[in-house]
A = this chain, B = another copy of it.
Amino acid sequence: MFKKGNPYGTHRVIEPKGVLPQPALKVDNTMEIYDNEILINVQTLNVDSASFTQINDQAGGDVEKIKEIMKGIVAERGKHQNPVTGSGGMLIGTIEQIGPALEGKTDLKVGDKIATLVSLSLTPLVIEEILTVRKDIDQVDIKGKAILFESGIYAKLPSDIPENLALSVLDVAGAPAQTIKLVKEGDTVLVLGGGGKSGLLCLYEAKKKAGPTGKVICWAHREASLATVKELGLADVCIAGDATNAIEVYEKVMEATDGKLCDLVISCVSRPNCEMSAILATKDEGTVYFFSMATSFTKAALGAEGVGKDVNMIIGNGYTKGHADTSIQIMRESKELRDLYTRLYA
């Protein structure tokens, strides 16, 4: 007999009561599933980069100490949520058991290999043993199990893409999928931080959707990133500069768009204080899509008001329907991007 679970996993929250598994300090990681849960035999944890850096620092780079810290986190919280950064990561594993309440509701079957697309910071986890720590790409192979809640999102791993590459691409999958939804034919689109991991995928999809009558502008920081974008032909206009300098961004984008500014600005810069650049570069009634986690809500809200800009500002939801397929599809379509991602992030 299976116990009845809540779709969001609130039945696993030990403390504090009333919250969801992500903000919870401790979740129940007993590996006996509820009727709407999925049990995963875990192969690899892809630890969030902020979290892994912190653990690595705390361990002074010592692999055995890293293992100890990671096991300690899971022992205390029942999930791999870094207590300093609050963040988690993703995992790869194989389906071991599916709760009966999910029959007919899920396309998964026992034996499927998946990547979870919900954060490790809310995923009940048990680590039996840590096998390998790959410090250069924040990945850790383990022997262990995890639970996926009914509302938890995942992607079946494709057979034609190496697992490490798939993991890296899936990490930023929300950005290109949202780009497809937001760009219309003929649009002028600016990607701030266009030379980074998420930015490149945004440029790629923006160019496809905007089409030959559109204009895609890449703003990057280092000339090297810009060179890559130019080489791959991912943008119609390439500009290098500091995206925190709002006036410079505004003036250069005015120039590049004959004073018309952009229908859509996507902010993928990993640093704070880029809100005003994104807002000023947008047309009245245009849209700013903030994918960067360094975005400040109040700086965006008061900033737009301060300059009297009637722009639509969107918070980058890490999830949108079909986002995993979209990002993996890019790796199939573009050999150039696949080679680049394999070199940089896999």
- Give A residues with C-beta under 8 Å from B: 8, 10, 18-23, 117-119, 121-122, 151-153, 174, 245-248, 276, 280, 290, 293, 295-298, 300-321
Known contacts A8-B307, A20-B246, A248-B18; A315/B293 CB under 8 A: no
Chain B nearest Cβ from A45, distance in angstroms: 17
Chain B nearest Cβ from A310, distance in angstroms: 5
Is there contact, CB below 8 Å, between A247 and B319? Answer: no
A323 and chain B: residue at smallest CB distance: B310
Chain B residue contacts of A20, Cβ below 8 A: 246-247, 276, 303, 306-307
Greatest chain B CB density within 10 A among A174, A307, A319 is at A307
Known contacts A153-B308, A297-B295; A22/B302 CB under 8 A: yes
Known contacts A297-B293, A318-B301; A306/B118 CB under 8 A: yes
Chain B residue contacts of A302, Cβ below 8 A: 22, 119, 121, 293, 318
Would you list 25 pairs from A and B whose C-beta atoms are within 8 A, ordered by A residue? Answer: A8-B247, A10-B247, A19-B246, A20-B303, A22-B302, A22-B303, A118-B306, A118-B308, A121-B306, A122-B306, A151-B307, A153-B305, A174-B305, A290-B315, A295-B297, A296-B297, A297-B297, A297-B300, A297-B315, A300-B315, A302-B318, A304-B317, A308-B319, A310-B317, A315-B315
Is there contact, CB below 8 Å, between A305 and B117? Answer: yes
Partner of A301, one of B19, B293, B304: B293
Chain B nearest Cβ from A14, distance in angstroms: 15
> Considering the complex of A and B, which 6 residue pairs feature the smallest CB-CB distances, nearest first?
A305-B318, A313-B315, A153-B308, A305-B319, A304-B317, A297-B297
A13 and chain B: residue at smallest CB distance: B247
Bound Cα distance from A152 to B152, whole angstroms: 45
Chain B residue contacts of A276, Cβ below 8 A: 20, 23
* 20 new A-B contacts at CB < 8 Å, known A23-B276, A152-B308, A315-B315: A18-B248, A20-B306, A20-B307, A22-B306, A117-B305, A118-B307, A119-B305, A174-B305, A290-B315, A293-B297, A293-B298, A295-B297, A296-B297, A301-B315, A308-B319, A309-B319, A310-B320, A311-B317, A312-B317, A314-B314
Known contacts A18-B247, A293-B297; A310/B319 CB under 8 A: yes
